[in-house]
Structure formats: C-alpha cells, structure tokens
C-alpha cells in the first residue's frame, strides 16, 4: 500500500470509468454500511463494487487488506479499511450535511453510538460464525452466551437513547445495519424485547431510501 500524504485523496480508481473499487459482498453488514453511506452522501455512482471472498486464499483481498477483511475501498492509489474509516473518508468528500457532526460533544456522541452499534454487529457475527465454522460437538454455549450478552446490553443502551431516525448519521447507519443483520441471520430474537428499536427501524427505513436499497438478498 502506497502512502502519498502530501495531497488529498479523491474518490477514483481502477474500476470501470475510473471509479473507486469497493471489495465487499451484498450480505456483509459492514459492506452495507459503506454502500448505504455512499448512497446517502450521493457518492455511490463513483464506486464499483467487486465481490470479495474472505475464505479464499487466492482472493486479492488479502493483499489489499492484510487482515483479509472487508469492506476495503481502493481509491486514488490508496487502500482504506475498515468500514468506520471508509465512512469518515466518504464524509470528507460529501457536499453539504454529512454523516458525522464536525466537532464538539455531538460528534463524539455520534461516534460512540456508532461504535456501540458496530459492537452489536461484531457479537452477532461471532455467534453466527460459532455455528457455521465449528462442528455441533464443538460449539461453546458459554461463548455464545458471552456474545449474546453483548448484543442484549448494546441493544438496551441503544433503545434507551437511539439516533434520530429522521436524520441519517453514522450512528443511524450503523444501528440500521446491525438490526438488519439480526433480522437476516437471527442469532438473537430482538423484536419482541425491544419494541422501541422496531419502531425506530420502521421510521428510519421510511425516512432513508438507502436502507431498503441496500438490503441483503434473501
């Protein structure tokens, strides 16, 4: 990865028509964060999505991101990861209102809520992977309970103080993607226990077209 620090980055690259290249899948909740953010910010037409396979050792993803994780954005000779960094980058390019408050207490409140929602997704993914990559006899109920506790505490905190569903910011994008992933993979049944978040997601989806536009294929 080259490091050219004396000029600002641009959203361009080796994709079709000189577009930047986003390595992800349509089912990745973190990739969905980036796709949703790019649509919200009016930047999606400058990005080409190229599918990635994190389990394939021949996939160039491992060269683009040494961790072999997605999403990964290749733009203007640089490679950016993970989703939080990519959202910050896209936000710097947006004209008008962005996803992050620019300064002060409001900015750090948004960053913290976004990180909390990402943590819910992290724990949910680990629960799914426990069942996917281990034989039934090796699944750890203790590990699953540990991750479930993270999801439940995170959702309780977010339900108590959710982002504004009518004004899309990074926290809202992250929470919407976390809830969308919980609906899709269902490692935790959340809708009956947190009706406040059910209402929040309904209002967010009604106000933000990018949520339904980026839904994972069933």
CATH code for position 74? 3.40.30.10
- Structural domain boundaries, residue 162: 104-209
Q: pLDDT value at position 14? A: 84
Residue 8 falls inside a structural domain? no
Q: Give the chain's radius of gyration (CA, Å).
A: 18
Q: pLDDT value at position 131? A: 86
Containing H/E element for 72?
Answer: strand 72-75
The CA distance from 148 to 164, in Å, is 26
Q: Answer yes or no: do 146 and 168 share one domain.
A: yes
How many domains does the structure of the chain reveal? Answer: 2
- The pTM of this model reads 0.94
Q: Answer yes or no: do 113 and 201 share one domain.
A: yes
Q: How many CA atoms lie within 13 A of 179 on its CB side?
A: 28
Q: Answer yes or no: do 88 and 109 share one domain.
A: no
Among 93, 119, 150, give the residue marking a domain's end. 93
Q: pLDDT value at position 172? A: 99
In the chain, the percentage of residues whose pLDDT exceeds 70 is: 97
Q: pLDDT value at position 1? A: 45
Residue 184 falls inside a structural domain? yes
Q: Answer yes or no: do 75 and 169 share one domain.
A: no
Residue 128 falls inside a structural domain? yes
Q: 27 and 59 in contact (C-beta within 8 Å)?
A: no
181 secondary structure, DSSP code? H
Q: Answer yes or no: do 122 and 186 share one domain.
A: yes
**Residues in the chain with pLDDT < 70?**
1-5
């Amino acid at each position: 990865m080259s490091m050219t620090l004396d000029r600002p980055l641009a959203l361009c690259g080796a994709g079709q028509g000189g577009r930047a290249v986003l390595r992800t899948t349509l089912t990745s909740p973190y990739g969905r964060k980036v796709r949703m953010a790019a649509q919200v910010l009016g930047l999606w037409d400058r990005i080409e999505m190229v599918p990635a396979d994190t389990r394939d050792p021949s996939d160039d993803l491992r060269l683009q991101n040494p961790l072999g994780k997605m999403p990964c954005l290749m733009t203007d000779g640089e490679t950016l990861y993970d989703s939080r960094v990519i959202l910050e980058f896209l936000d710097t390019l947006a004209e008008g209102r962005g996803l992050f408050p620019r300064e002060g207490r409001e900015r750090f409140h948004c960053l913290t809520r976004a990180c909390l929602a990402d943590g819910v997704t992290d724990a949910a993914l680990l629960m799914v992977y426990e069942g996917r990559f281990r034989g039934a006899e090796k699944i750890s109920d203790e590990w699953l309970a540990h991750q479930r506790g993270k999801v439940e505490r995170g959702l309780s905190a977010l339900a108590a103080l959710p982002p504004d569903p009518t004004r899309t910011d990074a926290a809202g994008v992250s929470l919407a993607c976390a809830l969308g992933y919980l609906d899709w993979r269902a490692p935790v049944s959340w809708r009956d226990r947190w009706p406040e978040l059910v209402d929040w997601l309904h209002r967010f989806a009604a106000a933000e077209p990018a949520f339904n536009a980026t839904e994972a294929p069933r």
